[in-house]
């Protein structure tokens, strides 16, 4: 075992030697080392977060045919640091009617709900905070705390826009949690475990090939969970100004903003872990742990880029349409997919990987096609009803 394969254990052993050398009891040293490790990871995430501000601004600029930040430093790279200085020295106002304690706790909880997600993210075969055997449910639990932070922020601000934004966002978040939970069940079925390390280890074939429809539904649910466009009920900057964080300024706003970006990046990472093989990439993870970390960060960035792509391409969907889309389309589809996957998994058990994979893939594609066809028929009938005329068969129009 060399440093390149398991750097964490080597570093921990080395620190353990130092701390026990100082006469510290072993258990205290272990906790201290754990604390240092967690602190290091979180500090690195915050640095990454600062960088994400730049990435986001640069990418949105490209999507909108602009240049983006390009004045401060090369390619505007120093821009986020200037932003941070501004956030730090900005006066922090609290609205008069606000509920002060709840108002101040909300941004901290919001950031925390994102940071604790990284406790279960496997960065390399041996670099993982905690290899919980309930990893999939843990991310939903962390999301529950994030939901709570939004409702706290919206309520405590004593602002109608904030409350409306928070309510809409929470309604959307909880609704889309159902398809997300259901889609978490599908990698669980394939891998026979909820732990992320086990899910990655079982992915000799990326799960996106076994369950492409599940990956798409998970992406949609993740975007809704993140509260990003086209599902940005909370912000709705053109109708309810900024939603739940309207009254926040300075660093407290910064926490919501940074939390949102890091959350999107994290869910890009979860896409990579659940459906794209996590840190595995043609045996590269066996060469060195650092390469494995590079692979998963790269995959997370691709997922993040897709989320940004969706955000800057589609327009906002009205809340009633969103909830109808979830409860009348996505949830039944997700449960049907779960039943089909479970059935196929049992029927195809024991067959060769090729038959298994193609059977799963074809059943997913067929189900997706059927669902789209049903939605298309329904929307055509609905349109005919609304317009009062029978539209001719223009099959290219979907919902």
Span 140-159, contacts to another protein by CB under 8 A: 140-141, 143-145, 147-148, 151-152, 155, 157-159
Residue 323 binds another protein (CB under 8 A): yes
Tokens of 50: 């600062």
User: Which residues within the stretch 220-259 sit at the binding site for another protein (CB under 8 A)?
Assistant: 241, 246-247, 250-252, 254-255
Q: Give me the 188-217 binding string for another protein, x by CB under 8 A, dash otherwise.
A: xx--xxx-----------------------
Angstrom distances, CA of residue 19 to CA of 3, 36, 62, 78, 103: 20, 12, 50, 38, 40
DSSP string, 166-205: HHHHHHHHHHHHHHHHHHHHHHHHHHT-S-HHHHHHT-SS
Number of Cβ within 10 Å of residue 119's Cβ equals: 16
Q: Which is nearer to another protein, 174 or 216 (CB)?
A: 174
Among 60, 137, 216, 294, binds another protein (CB under 8 A): 137
Residue 42 binds another protein (CB under 8 A): yes
Contact assessment for residue 190 and residue 346, using Cβ atoms and an 8 Å cutoff: no
Residue 365 binds another protein (CB under 8 A): no
* Residue the block writes with tokens 């821009």: 79
- Nearest approach in angstroms of CB 284 to another protein is 27
**Total count of residues recorded for the chain:** 399
User: Which residues within the stretch 170-189 sit at the binding site for another protein (CB under 8 A)?
Assistant: 170-171, 174-175, 177-178, 181-182, 185, 188-189
- Nearest approach in angstroms of CB 331 to another protein is 7
Q: Where are the beta strands (DSSP E) in the chain?
A: none
Q: Which is nearer to another protein, 52 or 308 (CB)?
A: 52
Omega within 30 of 0 (cis) for the link into 230? yes
Query: Of 221, 222, 231, 223, which is closest to residue 168 (Cα–Cα)?
Result: 231
Q: Which is nearer to another protein, 308 or 337 (CB)?
A: 337
Residue 12 binds another protein (CB under 8 A): no
Q: How many residues bind another protein (CB under 8 A)?
A: 98
Number of Cβ within 10 Å of residue 130's Cβ equals: 11
Q: Which is nearer to another protein, 88 or 287 (CB)?
A: 88
Query: Cα-flanking dihedrals φ and ψ of residue 209, to 5°?
Result: -80, -25
Question: What is the rounded CA–CA span in Å between residue 343 and residue 367?
Answer: 13
Q: Which stretch binds another protein (CB under 8 A): 63-71, 285-293, 322-330, 373-381?
A: 322-330
User: Which residues within the stretch 65-104 sit at the binding site for another protein (CB under 8 A)?
Assistant: 87-97, 99, 102, 104
Residue 292 binds another protein (CB under 8 A): no
């Amino acid at each position: 075992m060399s440093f390149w394969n398991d750097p964490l254990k080597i570093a921990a052993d080395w620190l353990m030697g130092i701390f026990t050398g100082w006469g510290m009891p072993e258990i205290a040293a272990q906790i201290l080392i754990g604390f240092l490790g967690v602190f290091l990871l979180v500090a690195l995430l915050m640095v990454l977060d600062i960088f994400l501000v730049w990435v986001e601004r640069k990418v949105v600029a490209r999507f909108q045919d602009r240049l983006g930040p390009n004045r401060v430093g090369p390619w505007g790279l120093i821009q986020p640091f200037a932003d941070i200085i501004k956030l730090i020295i900005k006066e922090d106002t609290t609205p008069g009617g606000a509920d002060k304690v709840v108002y101040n706790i909300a941004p901290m909880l919001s950031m925390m709900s994102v940071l604790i997600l990284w406790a279960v993210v496997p960065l390399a075969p041996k670099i993982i905070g905690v290899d919980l055997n309930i990893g999939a449910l843990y991310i939903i639990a962390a999301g529950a705390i994030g939901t709570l932070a939004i409702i706290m922020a919206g309520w405590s601000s004593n602002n109608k826009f904030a409350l409306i934004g928070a309510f809409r966002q929470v309604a959307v978040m909880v609704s889309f949690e159902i398809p997300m939970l259901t889609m978490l069940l599908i990698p669980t079925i394939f891998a026979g475990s909820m732990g992320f390390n086990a899910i990655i280890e079982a992915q000799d074939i990326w799960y996106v090939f076994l369950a492409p429809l599940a990956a798409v539904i998970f992406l949609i649910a993740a975007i809704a969970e993140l509260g990003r466009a086209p599902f940005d009920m909370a912000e709705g900057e053109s109708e309810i100004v900024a939603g739940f964080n309207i009254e926040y300024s300075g660093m407290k706003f910064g926490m919501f903003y940074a939390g949102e970006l890091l959350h999107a990046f994290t869910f890009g990472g979860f896409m990579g872990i659940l459906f794209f093989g996590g840190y595995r990439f043609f045996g590269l993870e066996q060469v060195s742990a650092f390469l494995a970390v590079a692979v998963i960060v790269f995959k997370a960035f691709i997922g993040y880029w897709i989320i940004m792509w969706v955000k800057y391409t589609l327009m906002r969907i009205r809340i009633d349409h969103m909830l109808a889309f979830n409860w009348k389309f996505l949830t039944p589809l997700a449960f049907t997919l779960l039943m089909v996957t479970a059935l196929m998994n049992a029927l195809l058990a024991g067959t060769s990987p090729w038959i298994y994979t193609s059977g799963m893939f074809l059943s997913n594609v067929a189900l997706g096609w059927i669902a789209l066809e049903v939605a298309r028929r329904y929307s055509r009938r609905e349109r005919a009803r609304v317009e009062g005329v029978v539209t001719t068969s223009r099959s290219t129009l979907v919902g």
